């Protein structure tokens, strides 16, 4: 491709361009400055647009019913109605929902760590016939549109009697192909000498995995642990299908329910926005504290070759 670049350069190389103290030089400096300013402005604008829904949600949560319905709309609540949060919190069992979401998401992430570590160790460090095909099959499922499995998985769960249970949510999400992919990549980078040395000392594979590999590749576990926690907290459709009783509602389902109920008598936007803030805020805080893990982990999957 550098050939192509060279070819196209020939046309442009004809233009003499010197960045010294000539008039055209000063113009280039100006152009650069202008470019810098406009790209800064553009990025600031984009960041603002993308976080605007959060700001708008928060501002709306603090307004009164009359204020929110006023036209032209007010952007900053005149007298912040902090009571809206309390009222929203009291009008549905949100603490229960949040507990359910945190509990199932944490259990799932712990299972992911165990299943991923064992599987990634087997396919990177152990010699067995099915090693390659197994990896290909597992990776292929990453490309599957999950919903195809919903109806059959629902039937499977009903066979075991796990519809409308914690076990149902947890077991059906016990493996993360994304996590296996990340862990495999970093397991491959653990130096062989370390493994050999541990083997000579008579350590079992189990010990090597948890005493050598796990500590060395911990960052990758933190990364996918956080990402999968967020994905599970945000999960909506699958739990909606298998959960019936209100005491097992995840936060997403609970919020949808609240949205529908509040909409029944003319939409009570301030309360709904307060409830949405309650749901969104824990994740935003978690994300802002741990953002580098997310961004590293997400970017890390982009480097697939071929």
CB of 92 to another protein, least distance (A): 14
Least CB distance to another protein at residue 53 (A): 5
Dist CA 175 CA 173 (whole Å): 6
Contact pick of 29, 34, 46, 86 for another protein (by CB under 8 A): 46
Instruction: Report 64-93 residues binding another protein (CB under 8 A).
Output: 68-69, 71-73
Q: List the x/- string, 167-196, binding to another protein by CB under 8 A.
A: ----xx-xx----x-----------x--xx
Instruction: Using DSSP, state whether 172 is helix, strand or coil.
Output: coil
Q: How many residues would you count in the chain?
A: 306
Residue choice 53, 83, 161, 191 for contact with another protein (CB under 8 A): 53
Contacting residue, 133, 152, 215, 266, with another protein by CB under 8 A? 152
Closest of 254, 275, 285 to residue 85, by C-alpha? 275
100 is an interface residue for another protein by CB under 8 A: no
CB-side neighbour CA atoms (13 Å) of 37: 6
Residues 114 and 183: their CA atoms lie apart, in Å, by 11
Work out how close the CB of 238 gets to another protein at its nearest, in angstroms, rounded to a whole number.
10
Short-list 299, 177, 171, 294, CA closest to 226 = 294
Distance in Å, CB of 189 to another protein, minimum: 15
Q: Output DSSP code: residue 149.
A: G
Determine if 102 is a binding residue for another protein (CB under 8 A).
no
Is 110 a residue that touches another protein (CB under 8 A)? no
214 in contact with another protein (CB under 8 A): no
Chain positions 277 to 296 lying near another protein, rule: CB under 8 A, are: 279-280, 283-284, 286-288, 291, 294-295
How far apart are alpha carbons 103 and 250 in whole angstroms? 10
289 in Cβ contact with 230 (< 8 Å): no
**Nearest alpha-carbon partner for 255 in 283, 228, 287:** 283
Please say which residue, 144 or 247, places its beta carbon nearer to another protein: 144
- Using the rule CB under 8 A, is 304 a contact of another protein? yes
By CB under 8 A, residue 42 contacts another protein: yes
**Count of other CB atoms within 10 angstroms of residue 273:** 22
Residue 255 makes contact with another protein by CB under 8 A: yes
By beta-carbon proximity to another protein, the closer residue of 36 and 211 is 36
Three-class DSSP category at 244: coil
Do the Cβ atoms of 96 and 249 come closer than 8 Å? yes
Considering the complex, what minimum distance in angstroms separates the CB of residue 169 from another protein? 11
Among 134, 139, 163, 216, binds another protein (CB under 8 A): 134
Report which DSSP code applies to 52: H
């Amino acid at each position: 491709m550098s050939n192509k670049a060279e070819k196209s350069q020939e046309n442009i190389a004809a233009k003499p361009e010197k960045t010294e103290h000539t008039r055209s030089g000063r113009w280039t400096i100006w152009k650069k400055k202008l470019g810098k300013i406009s790209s800064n402005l553009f990025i600031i604008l984009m960041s603002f647009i993308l976080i605007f829904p959060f700001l708008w949600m928060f501002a709306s949560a603090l307004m009164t019913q009359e204020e929110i319905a006023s036209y032209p709309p007010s952007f900053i609540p005149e007298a912040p109605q902090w009571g809206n949060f309390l009222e929203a919190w009291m009008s549905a069992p949100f603490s229960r929902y949040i507990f359910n979401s945190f509990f199932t998401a944490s259990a799932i992430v712990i299972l992911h760590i165990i299943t991923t570590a064992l599987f990634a160790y087997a396919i990177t460090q152990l010699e067995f016939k099915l090693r390659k095909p197994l990896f290909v099959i597992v990776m292929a499922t990453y490309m599957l549109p999950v919903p195809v499995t919903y109806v059959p998985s629902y039937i499977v769960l009903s066979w075991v009697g796990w519809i409308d249970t914690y076990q149902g949510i947890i077991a059906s999400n016990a493996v993360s192909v994304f996590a296996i992919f990340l862990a495999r990549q970093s397991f491959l980078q653990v130096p062989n000498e370390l493994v050999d040395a541990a083997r000579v000392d008579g350590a079992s594979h189990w010990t090597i995995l948890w005493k050598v590999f796990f500590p060395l590749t911990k960052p990758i576990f933190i990364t996918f642990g956080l990402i999968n926690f967020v994905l599970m907290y945000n999960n909506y459709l699958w739990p909606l299908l298998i959960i019936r009783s209100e005491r097992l509602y995840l936060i997403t389902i609970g919020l949808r329910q609240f949205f529908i109920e509040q909409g029944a008598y003319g939409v009570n936007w301030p309360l709904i926005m307060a409830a949405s803030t309650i749901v969104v805020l824990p994740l935003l805080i978690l994300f802002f504290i741990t953002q580098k893990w997310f961004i590293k982990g997400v970017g890390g999957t982009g480097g697939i070759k071929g």
